[in-house]
Amino acid sequence: MTLYMNLAELLGTQIEQGFYRPGDRLPSVRALSQEHGVSLSTVQQAYRHLEDSGMAAPRPKSGYFVPAERSLPALPGVGRSTQRPVDVTQWADVRDLLRSVPGPNVRRLGRGMPDVHAPTLKPLLKLLAQATRRTDLRCLYYDSAQGAEPLREALARHLVSSGCQLAPEDIVITSGCQESLSISIRAVCEPGDIVAVDSPSYHGVMQILKGLGMQALEIPTDPVTGISLEALELALEQWPIKAIQLTPSCNNPLGYVMPEARKRALLSLAQRFDVAIIEDDVYGDLAYQYPRPRAIKSFDTDGRVLLCSSFSKTLATGLRVGWVAPGRYLERVLHVKYISSGSTSPLPQLAAAEFLKAGLFEPHLRRMRSQYQRSRDQASDFVTRYFPVGTRASRPQGGFMLWIELPADVDCLQLYRRLLTQNVQIAAGSLFSASGKYRNCFRLNFAGHAHRSIEDSMRKIGMAAAELIAEQHALG
């Protein structure tokens, strides 16, 4: 990472954590230059970056300030550690969420759907239709278990943006990121093994561990800097952990980008204790900062990082095209891919490869990044406006998910059920914990393309939450 980005990240973290409050004056360019031993222009670049992301505003002749209108909700707390590996539960609730919701009028803010109405996505549909008209009938044939070569070539080029230097033969195509994660965990671990995870964590991974008879060890995770390296180190000393599974860039559900230095430190830890890292990068391309954050995989020197991703968040979930760059586990990953689903459908692979090769992916990402960043600001604003006092909210640095923490006595499964009757679907926080923690939290998708509908939904959520709190007090 460049010097100015390092500095911007540091200042940004301090602002996010409330060290500088809205309206506060930020350190002068000269002071920062001296303190950090960098040039004046480096500090100016850092401030320009903070300005772009709405975290600093210049006032003529007075330097930089935290924007006064930035009255953001406080960040969620760091989850307490369970201190020991646990069996995963919560399947009934996850299944409930995955089921078709009755009626097309339900606003589904519970699942990880991106906005698929952007004009920059339209060519993908054309390319899908085109692939069906190929005279070689390629879309009807088996693909190789590793996946279509044109797509692996295009991906190898694309992955340079996350700092990864990979060849097409280092990549295995899958039927989406869930398959990438499932295959990676099966390639590295065996039943009975312990996997360390960030917490809260993506429910799909929790359920994989449950299904494979593995245990999850939930590591406390900071909503700004990510998984606690200190707690992780302790856990690695104490337990025979086989792999670390986490989402370090644009985390799901918290939205943070783990600082680069911490990514490197995590890798060192993994090397010291000789464990694999299963890195979920599915939201990484949607970081609001440019260039996008580096993947842990990009620092990997001994092939212990399995990078998992897909087009589900950047293009469309319905494509079901993902990939793994499995490092030293390539042969095992290929075997597990073959036995899991044979091979991936050629049709969406061909269309996605053409989309990338035609240079359509980058402009689409650019558009979606800034759209989601604007939506994040709006959604944060709606939290302040409509949610009960004391509500905390994450401050995502990428993607389209908000993590909401309500006062401690609110049961969000109850909130979830009540909101369904009002045609609003959220994802209860307990799904994101192996042991059903985060009862008073939920995850909210703000990707929807209609600003009005998000505001309307969030108003409903806020009212339902306030009702629950009032009922609680009446009872108590």
**Binding positions for its own copies, rule: CB under 8 A:** 91, 94-95, 98-100, 111, 113, 116-117, 121, 125-126, 128-129, 132-133, 137-146, 149, 174-179, 182, 186, 190-191, 204, 207-208, 210-213, 315-320, 334-336, 338-348
Minimum CB–partner distance for residue 410 and its own copies (Å): 28
CB of 178 to its own copies, least distance (A): 4
Q: Which is nearer to its own copies, 41 or 144 (CB)?
A: 144
Largest Cα span, the chain: 71
C-alpha distances (whole Å) from 305 to each of 92, 147, 169, 270, 362 are: 32, 20, 16, 9, 25
- Picking from 476, 288, 264, the residue whose alpha carbon sits closest to that of residue 366 is 288
Residues 425 and 419: their CA atoms lie apart, in Å, by: 6
How near is the Cβ of 144 to its own copies at its closest, in Å? 4
d(CA 159, CA 151): 12
Element of type H or E holding 269? helix 260-272
Residue 224 near residue 75 (C-beta atoms within 8 A): yes
Specify the 3-state DSSP secondary structure of 32.
helix
Instruction: Compute the distance between CA of residue 11 and CA of residue 65 in angstroms, rounded to an integer.
Output: 12
156 neighbors 297 (Cβ within 8 angstroms): no
What does the alpha-carbon distance between residue 3 and residue 102 come to, in Å, rounded to a whole number? 51
| Shortest spacing between CB 446 and its own copies, in angstroms | 17
Considering beta carbons, is residue 112 or 259 the nearer one to its own copies? Answer: 112
User: Which is nearer to its own copies, 226 or 348 (by Cβ)?
Assistant: 348
Measured distance CA(353)–CA(357) in Å, rounded: 6
CB of 211 to its own copies, least distance (A): 4
Residue 458 sits at the vertex; the CA angle it makes with 312 and 378, to the nearest 5 degrees, is 70
First and final CA of the chain: distance in angstroms? 52
Pinpoint the alpha helices (H) of 2-112. 3-16, 29-36, 40-52, 91-98
Q: Which two tokens stand for residue 443?
A: 């995850």
- In angstroms, what is the minimal distance from the CB of 330 to its own copies? 11
Tokens for 129, please give them.
Answer: 């239709």
Q: Which is nearer to its own copies, 152 or 263 (CB)?
A: 152
Nearer to its own copies, 191 or 363 (CB): 191
> Is there a contact between 310 and 321 (Cβ–Cβ < 8 Å)?
yes
Q: Which is nearer to its own copies, 26 or 209 (CB)?
A: 209
Q: How far is the CB of 179 from its own copies (least distance, A)?
A: 4
Residue closer to its own copies, measured from CB, 123 or 407: 123
Give the C-alpha separation, 24 to 401, whole Å.
Answer: 28
> Is the Cβ of residue 117 or residue 264 nearer to its own copies in the bound state?
117
Q: Which helix (H) or strand (E) holds 205?
A: helix 203-211
Element (H, E) at 220: strand 215-222
Structure-token pair, residue 424: 């609003």
Question: Of 12 and 176, which CB lies nearer to its own copies in the complex structure?
Answer: 176
Nearer to its own copies, 320 or 392 (CB): 320
Residue 414, burial from CB neighbour count under 10 angstroms (0-12, 13-18, 19+): middle
Residue 32 CB, shortest distance to its own copies, in Å, is 45
Measured from the CB atom, the residue of 124 and 393 that comes closer to its own copies is: 124
137 vs 167, which CB is nearer to its own copies?
137
Residue 448 CB, nearest approach to its own copies (Å): 13
Query: In the complex, what is the shortest distance from the CB of residue 119 to its own copies, in angstroms, rounded to a whole number?
Result: 13
Segment (H or E) for 363: helix 361-386
Min separation Cβ 195 and its own copies, Å: 13
Residue 356 Cβ, how far from its own copies at the closest point, in Å? 17
* Burial class of residue 175 in the structure, from the number of CB atoms within 10 Å of its CB (0-12 exposed, 13-18 middle, 19+ buried): buried
Residue 119 DSSP code: G
